[in-house]
């Protein structure tokens, strides 16, 4: 009898497991993306359990010799709006990320406190670059755009777009111009809204979903034009392009292909004049030209009327042999006439890329203490580049994170580890500039990747629009390669803008992907994906203040003035499939000095938002 009962129990258990497997398969087939995201977040939740507290260690360079500070009449002063706002992704169109506010400084920063919190109530890869303009703080998620009070976090309005589910949920922010807001979407559209009400005004399609294209970048806007491009360059057949749209109507003013346009490619608007052809691409048959997407934001010189476009990697990322050549204009900064889209010049920073080392983030245009007009750029290859715009020559190429085993070719019969990895270096936020100390400051990721190259047959078998990285590992969590599980971290490097010699560097035990913000108060704000916000002394890098303020910090850290006092707003809750971070909802945290919070702000924070966890 005992044996019979055990047999029945075993058969019952098998039947339940089988039924569960069948049910699971049905659910997966019905909701494949939702299941994949849920499994990935559950995995990240487990991996983040017991995560250590944040640490920040600063080192001074004994070989550094101070140069001159920037002159009073700098690019910053010439192009910035009133100092109490943060009106664009990197504050100025020239992307220095420098705030002229001084209330928070080394003497007062110890009184910095959380004053209010806005909870998006969404589990998302929250990477929005916040803007604060006309008394409102603006942010985005994959589906939503919202306006909140910059002092109290009270919601003014929130507009949701009905979009299909997506594994990639990053949406990096909005632009403002003439009473309108502009953003991208996961299904390839650019959208415009009324600033006061959130009512949608128009939408324009610039991406092809069937080729894996979408629009994740934060646009910038200038003189009636909105500048934005498409992401999706890691999909087979996806090609990067950048656009100028009429701000009032959404009509495409010009389109510029960042990789060669070939037969069958759709023309969506007037083409910017371009010398680009297929001569730098050695693609073999059955390997279509792909890549060169743009997925962060842009920089504009309003005096010269020139748009600076950072361009992503060629695809397949890890299989260089099927696309021999320079693969222009991938891994470059391309300069276009902002009004016509005509090509002016380009700077190829990563010469031959088989590591997925995009030139991803917006570069900064600065006027240095030594009198140079400089382009500062930080790609994913782990270097900070300084380019003298007088002769367009690279002045320095300074390592700013760990760099190892970058010359070994990838192979289909062995795994190769390299640093910085596919998620290393500078990601979607670029360098900042402190003109008072003539320092370029960049946040970096120290995280290595192991890759085994796909065979040519595997690459050919990928359908159009499918992920086309060239990594043969079958584990679905290793789509970009296997990231180091036991070691990661981040750096904040402060580098002399004229010489490229670093003055100080801060090592965090978590990657730094959020925007770095120096201020005239002598403080640099830095955040990491452990949710730790730090205020560093701009001259020495010494940690003056630090606090865990929520989930991973993946968006911009901005400074502005509200109710007569300086505030710092931080995007927290980087909760996505690619980063093993704390699984929490996306939030905006607003901080100020202890005595600057109004009773309304304190009441709103206590009553509506509660704990940051």
226-271 pLDDT, tens per residue? Answer: 999 999 999 999 999 999 999 999 999 999 999 999 999 999 999 9
**Is residue 5 one of the residues assigned to a domain?**
no
Indicate if the pLDDT at residue 193 is higher than 50. Answer: yes
DSSP string covering 551-571 = S-EEEEEEEEEETTEEEEEEE
277-306 pLDDT, tens per residue? Answer: 999 999 988 899 999 999 999 999 999 999
**Is residue 9 one of the residues assigned to a domain?**
no
Tokens 């006092």 identify what position? Answer: 565
298 in the Ramachandran plot: left (φ > 0), alpha (ψ -120 to 50) or beta? beta
* 161 Cβ neighbours under 8 A, 6+ residues apart: 143, 144, 185, 191, 200
423-444 pLDDT, tens per residue? Answer: 999 999 999 999 999 999 999 9
50-73 pLDDT, tens per residue? Answer: 889 999 999 999 999 887 665 544
Read off φ and ψ for residue 158, nearest 5 degrees.
-150, 130
What percentage of the chain carries pLDDT values higher than 70? 88
Range of the domain at 87: 31-609
Indicate if the pLDDT at residue 605 is higher than 80. Answer: no
The CATH number of whichever domain residue 243 belongs to comes to 2.140.10.10
Q: How many CB atoms lie within 10 A of CB 68?
A: 13
First to last CA, the chain: 54
77 — pLDDT class (breaks 50, 70, 90): very low
Tokens of 107: 């003497």
Helix (H, G, I), strand (E, B) or coil at 147: strand
Q: In 3D, which of 219, 230, 124, 211 has the Cα closest to residue 168? A: 124
ω into 295 cis (within 30 of 0):
no
**Is residue 403 one of the residues assigned to a domain?**
yes
Quick one: 36 exposed, middle or buried, by C-beta within 10 A (0-12, 13-18, 19+)? middle
30 — pLDDT class (breaks 50, 70, 90): low
Indicate if the pLDDT at residue 319 is higher than 70. Answer: yes
Range of weakest confidence among 28-32, 94-98, 339-343, 480-484 = 28-32
pLDDT of amino acid 82: 63
Alpha helices (H) in 72-177, listed in sequence order: 75-79
**Is residue 4 one of the residues assigned to a domain?**
no
Total number of domains in the chain: 1
CA–CA gap between residue 202 and residue 190 (Å, rounded): 8
For the entire predicted model, the pTM comes to 0.92
175-192 pLDDT, tens per residue? Answer: 999 999 999 999 999 999
Tokens of 567: 């505030």
DSSP string covering 161-222 = ------S-----B-EEETTEEEEE-TTSEEEEEETTT--EEEEEE---GGGT-B--SPPEEE
**Is residue 490 one of the residues assigned to a domain?**
yes
Decide: 310 and 294 in contact? Cβ < 8 Å. yes
489-526 pLDDT, tens per residue? Answer: 999 999 999 999 999 999 999 999 999 999 999 999 99
CA–CA gap between residue 58 and residue 249 (Å, rounded): 50
Of residues 395 and 611, more confidently modeled: 395
SS (H, E, C) 223-283: CCEEEEECECCCECCCECEEEEEECCCCCEEEEEECCCCCCCCCCCCCECCCCCCHHHCEE
CA–CA gap between residue 290 and residue 465 (Å, rounded): 10
SS (H, E, C) 52-68: CCCCEEEEECCCCCCCC
Range of weakest confidence among 40-49, 345-354, 568-577 = 40-49
Indicate if the pLDDT at residue 147 is higher than 80. Answer: yes
Range of weakest confidence among 11-25, 197-211, 349-363, 399-413 = 11-25
pLDDT of amino acid 18: 45
**Is residue 6 one of the residues assigned to a domain?**
no
Please name the helix (run of DSSP H) or strand (run of DSSP E) that holds residue 40, with its range, or none. helix 32-48
pLDDT of amino acid 167: 75
pLDDT of amino acid 613: 38
pLDDT of amino acid 288: 96
Task: Find the radius of gyration of the CA atoms of the chain.
Answer: 24
CA–CA gap between residue 111 and residue 197 (Å, rounded): 35
Indicate if the pLDDT at residue 24 is higher than 70. Answer: no
pLDDT of amino acid 78: 41
Indicate if the pLDDT at residue 38 is higher than 80. Answer: no
596 — pLDDT class (breaks 50, 70, 90): low
**Is residue 474 one of the residues assigned to a domain?**
yes
CA 540 vs CA 383, 450, 528: distances in Å? 21, 35, 19
What percentage of the chain carries pLDDT values higher than 90? 81
Q: How many CB atoms lie within 10 A of CB 432?
A: 31
User: Strands, E, within 460-529: which ranges?
Assistant: 482-483, 489-496, 502-508, 517-518, 523-527
What is the CB-side half-sphere exposure of residue 313 using CA atoms within 13 A?
Answer: 26
Please name the helix (run of DSSP H) or strand (run of DSSP E) that holds residue 14, with its range, or none. helix 2-30
Decide: 256 and 273 in contact? Cβ < 8 Å. no
**Is residue 3 one of the residues assigned to a domain?**
no
Indicate if the pLDDT at residue 399 is higher than 70. Answer: yes
pLDDT of amino acid 70: 56
């Amino acid at each position: 009898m005992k044996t019979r009962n055990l047999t029945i129990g075993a058969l019952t258990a098998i039947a339940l497991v089988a039924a569960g497997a069948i049910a699971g398969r049905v659910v997966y087939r019905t909701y494949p993306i939702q299941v994949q995201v849920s499994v990935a977040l559950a995995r990240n939740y487990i991996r983040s359990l017991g995560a250590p507290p944040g640490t920040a260690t600063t080192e001074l360079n004994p070989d550094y010799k101070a140069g001159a500070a920037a002159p009073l009449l700098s690019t910053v002063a010439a192009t910035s709006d009133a100092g109490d706002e943060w009106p664009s992704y990197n504050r100025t169109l020239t992307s220095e990320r420098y705030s002229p506010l001084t209330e928070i400084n080394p003497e007062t920063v110890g009184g910095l406190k959380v004053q209010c919190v806005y909870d998006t109530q969404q589990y998302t890869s929250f990477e929005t670059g916040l803007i604060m303009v006309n008394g409102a703080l603006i942010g985005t998620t994959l589906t939503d755009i919202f306006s909140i009070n910059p002092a109290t976090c009270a919601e003014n309005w929130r507009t949701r777009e009905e979009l299909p589910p997506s594994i990639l949920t990053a949406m990096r922010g909005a632009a403002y111009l003439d009473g309108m807001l502009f953003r991208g979407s996961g299904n390839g559209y650019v959208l415009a809204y009324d600033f006061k009400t959130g009512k949608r005004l128009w939408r324009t399609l610039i991406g092809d979903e069937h080729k894996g294209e979408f629009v994740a970048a934060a646009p910038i806007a200038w003189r009636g034009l909105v500048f934005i491009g498409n992401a999706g360059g890691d999909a087979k057949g996806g090609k990067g392009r950048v656009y100028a749209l009429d701000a009032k109507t959404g009509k495409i003013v010009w389109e510029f292909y960042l990789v060669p346009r070939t037969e069958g490619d759709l023309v969506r608007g007037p083409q910017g004049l371009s010398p680009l052809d297929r001569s730098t691409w050695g693609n073999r048959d059955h390997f279509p030209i792909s890549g060169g997407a743009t997925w962060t934001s842009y920089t504009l010189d309003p005096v010269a009327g020139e748009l600076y476009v950072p361009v992503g990697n060629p695809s397949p990322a890890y299989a260089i042999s099927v696309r021999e050549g320079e693969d222009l204009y991938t891994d470059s900064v391309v300069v276009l006439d902002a009004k016509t889209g005509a090509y002016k010049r380009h700077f190829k920073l990563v010469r031959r890329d088989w590591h997925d080392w995009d030139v991803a983030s917006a570069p900064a245009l600065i006027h240095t203490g030594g009198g140079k007009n400089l382009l500062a750029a930080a790609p994913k290859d782990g270097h900070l580049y300084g380019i003298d715009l007088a002769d367009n020559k690279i002045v320095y190429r300074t390592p700013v994170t760990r760099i190892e085993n970058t010359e070994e070719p990838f192979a289909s019969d062995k795994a190769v580890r390299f640093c910085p990895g596919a998620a290393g270096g500078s990601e979607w936020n670029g360098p900042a500039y402190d003109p008072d100390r003539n320092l370029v400051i960049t946040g970096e990721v120290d995280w290595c990747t192991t890759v085994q190259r796909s065979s040519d047959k595997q690459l050919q078998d990928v359908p159009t629009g499918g992920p086309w990285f060239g990594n043969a590992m079958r584990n679905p969590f290793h789509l970009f390669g296997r990231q180091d599980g036991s070691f990661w971290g981040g750096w904040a490097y402060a580098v002399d803008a004229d010489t490229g010699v670093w003055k100080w560097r801060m090592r965090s035990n978590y990657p730094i992907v959020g925007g770095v913000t120096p201020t005239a108060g002598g403080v640099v704000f830095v955040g990491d994906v452990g949710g730790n916000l730090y205020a560093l002394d701009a001259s020495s890098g010494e940690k003056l203040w630090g606090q865990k303020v929520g989930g991973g910090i993946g968006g911009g850290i901005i400074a502005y003035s509200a109710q007569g006092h300086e505030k710092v707003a931080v995007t927290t809750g980087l909760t996505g499939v690619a980063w093993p971070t704390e699984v929490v909802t996306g939030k905006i945290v607003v901080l100020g000095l202890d005595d600057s919070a109004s009773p309304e702000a304190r009441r709103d924070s206590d009553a509506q938002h509660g704990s940051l966890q």
